[in-house]
Amino acid sequence: MSPSDDIQRPDRYSELIDAWGSFEKKTFDNWIIDVSECYFRSGIGIKFASQLLSIQPAELQAALNLASLDEDELALLATLNPPKTTWFTLAASSPDEIRQALDALKSAKEGASPFSVVARAIREIKGPTSMERIASLSSEAFGHAAKKATAFNLLNEKHIKALKGWESRVRTGRTLTPPQISYAEGLLRELAEQGAIVRNSRDGDEAICDEILNAIGVS
């Protein structure tokens, strides 16, 4: 850092404070862009910046995430000024999802949680994620994957044991944890890539192969 940076720093802080405080004076999209630019110019971290602004770190982070959207998408958001509890979700959404979410917010019942309204609206478009689809796989699917891995001499012993473990876990009514789902996705994808689990399987296991391929999103 050069001495001139030091000299400019207080101005950069004030610039950020002014930008955050100008919410009422600007359109939502311009406000988001200004806050983001001032934050990155300030060179300070999220924790210090949120203390400086007397806000929650999540609030600032959500605004910064929104700044990564295209200008058109931000302009769309500016038509409604969505509640801050929806910002993280909107920042991770496509233009179609944003449109659907804003429509849902406009017609939401009084007292409804904006977060839930937006999450549901986006889920309607997105459908279940691959992680959710894997979470909903039957115990038979995991057992079958283990059998195929053994037959095709794919995966190692530890991996096959994991697949069998999930077979029992799901059979007894328990769900997989997110790390287990991630792990399972990798293993199932490997089996698909290596040709053990395929569409139109000739092994008489078409239905179960399709169930697995659908879950991992392979057409």
User: In this complex, which beta carbon is closest to other proteins, that of residue 151 or of residue 161?
Assistant: 161
Number of CB atoms found within 10 A of residue 95's CB: 12
DSSP notation for 110-147 = TT--HHHHHHHHHHHHH-S-HHHHHHT--HHHHHHHHH
| C-beta of residue 114 within 8 angstroms of C-beta of residue 105 | yes
Report the residue from 14, 22, 51, 68 that binds other proteins according to the rule CB under 8 A: 68
Q: Which of 46, 106, 107, 207 touches other proteins (CB under 8 A)?
A: 46
Q: Between the CA of residue 41 and those of 13, 117, 187, 205, what are the distances in Å? A: 9, 35, 43, 58
CB 144 within 8 A of CB 208: yes
Closest CA to 73 of 47, 93, 88: 93
Nearest alpha-carbon partner for 197 in 131, 136, 152? 152
Closest distance of CB 118 from other proteins, Å: 8
Nearer to other proteins among residue 78 and residue 150 (C-beta):
78
Block residue for tokens 């949120």: 50
Q: Binding residue for other proteins (CB under 8 A) from 75, 99, 131, 203?
A: 131
Q: Which of 65, 139, 150, 201 binds other proteins (CB under 8 A)?
A: 65
User: Considering only residues 6-45, where is the footprint of other proteins by CB under 8 A?
Assistant: 33, 36-37, 40-41, 45
| Minimum separation from the CB atom of position 126 to other proteins (A) | 8
| Residue of 8, 27, 61, 139 that binds other proteins (CB under 8 A) | 61
Binding-site member from 75, 78, 80, 119 for other proteins (CB under 8 A): 119
User: Is residue 100 part of the contact set for other proteins (CB under 8 A)?
Assistant: no
Read off the tokens for 78.
């500016």
- From the number of C-beta atoms within 10 Å of its C-beta (0-12, 13-18, 19+), residue 26 rates as middle
- Binding residues for other proteins, rule: CB under 8 A, are 33, 36-37, 40-41, 45-47, 56-59, 61-62, 64-65, 67-68, 70, 83-85, 87-89, 91-92, 111-116, 118-119, 122-123, 127-133, 135-136, 173, 175, 177-179, 181-182, 185-186, 189, 211, 213-219
